[in-house]
Amino acid sequence: MFAMNDLKGQVAVITGSTSGIGLAFARTVALCGGDVVLNGLGDPDAIEKTRADLAAETGVQVLYHPADMSQPDQIADLIETAWRKLGRIDILVNNAGIQHVEAVESFPDSAWEKIISINLSSTFYATKAVIPVMKAQGRGRIVNIASAHGLVASPFKSAYVAAKHGVIGFTKTVALELAQQNITCTAICPGFVETPIVEKQIEDQARTRNMSKEDVMKNVILGSQPTKRFVTTDELAGIFLYLVSDLGASANGSHYSVDGGWTAQ
């Protein structure tokens, strides 16, 4: 039997890992002995504290790279710096994402462009840059954080839903291209997880739908999930560890729902 929780000697680059799901995955990798490259926005002092605390707690190497995931040249530098400083990249998690909630007819062009670039195009640029590294190593794991919104839609999230459906299509294509190289490309489709991206949209949903914030939480956010509770980051870490392990070698090109039954409806 292969150990799913032993990542010693491996290096993971996780985009958008200064909070939420990305930070939880960074902790998971570090607790399993792997080195981590953090990335994301936020207060520089707070990010440095997060980086130093995680390194001290786990004893692994934890680096931070400030690439703006809407900028292709900075994404290329993220991958190149991670490889140069840590010597390998075994796991790439394309996780950075943002949201904007508004009807299509008034959806700002700038919000559409930004969501497509951060939620979809960054996945292309990071994957493109990491493939030669993984090919040279003879092994690699690319995990894309899509969403239940990569499979089904909700009103007022046109750019997000389009980007996440795109991530799943991109995942399948990369998986086919690399199928004989011992490199897998997979997608995780979480339901609602209690992170800053969800907290920020409650107010927008309330305004767009003319509802109270309490009603949005009960009927819109948790209304989609038959479990009537948020998905936890530990529940996502479970499938993540499987996908990056040797047990996940044939779990290629697929998307895995962890959504409390949302898309079973």
- Catalytic residue annotation: 160
**Minimum distance between the CB of residue 23 and ligand NAD, rounded to whole angstroms?**
7
92-100, 103-111, 211-219, 244-252 -> range binding ligand NAD (CB under 6 A): 92-100
47-55, 89-97, 135-143, 239-247 -> range binding ligand NAD (CB under 6 A): 89-97
Which CB sits closer to ligand NAD, 41 or 136? Answer: 41
Q: Residues touching ligand NAD: how many (CB under 6 A)?
A: 29
Q: What's the burial of 180, exposed, middle or buried (CB within 10 Å: 0-12/13-18/19+)?
A: exposed
Strand order, beta sheet including 183-190: 62-65, 35-39, 11-14, 91-94, 140-145, 183-190, 255-258
Among 7, 11, 14, 21, binds ligand NAD (CB under 6 A): 21
| Residues of span 99-158 touching ligand NAD by CB under 6 A | 118-119, 145, 147
**Minimum distance between the CB of residue 73 and ligand NAD, rounded to whole angstroms?**
13
**Minimum distance between the CB of residue 131 and ligand NAD, rounded to whole angstroms?**
21
Instruction: Indicate the Cα dihedral angle 81, 86, 88, 89, nearest 10°.
Output: -70
**Minimum distance between the CB of residue 9 and ligand NAD, rounded to whole angstroms?**
26
Binding mask 170-209 for ligand NAD (x = CB under 6 A): --------------------x-xx-xxxx-----------
Amino acid letter for position 121? S
Q: How many C-beta atoms surround the C-beta of residue 73 within 10 A?
A: 10
Among 32, 47, 98, 168, binds ligand NAD (CB under 6 A): 98
Which CB sits closer to ligand NAD, 24 or 175? Answer: 24
* Pairing between β-strand 183-190 and β-strand 140-145 as defined by DSSP bridges: parallel
Residue 214 CB-half CA count within 13 A:
0
Among 9, 42, 108, 132, binds ligand NAD (CB under 6 A): 42
Helix (H) or strand (E) holding 158: helix 158-177
95 SS3 class: coil
26-34, 67-75, 135-143, 205-213 -> range binding ligand NAD (CB under 6 A): 67-75
The whole-angstrom separation of Cα 147 and Cα 189 is 4
The length of the chain is 265
- Residue 46 in contact with ligand NAD, rule: CB under 6 A: no
**Minimum distance between the CB of residue 57 and ligand NAD, rounded to whole angstroms?**
19
SS (H, E, C) 4-30: CCCCCCCEEEECCCCCHHHHHHHHHHH
The whole-angstrom separation of Cα 11 and Cα 190 is 24
Nearest 5 degrees, angle CA 228-CA 93-CA 174? 105
| Residues of span 206-265 touching ligand NAD by CB under 6 A | none
Amino acid letter for position 211? M
Binding residues for ligand NAD, rule: CB under 6 A, are: 16-22, 39-42, 68-70, 95-98, 118-119, 145, 147, 190, 192-193, 195-198
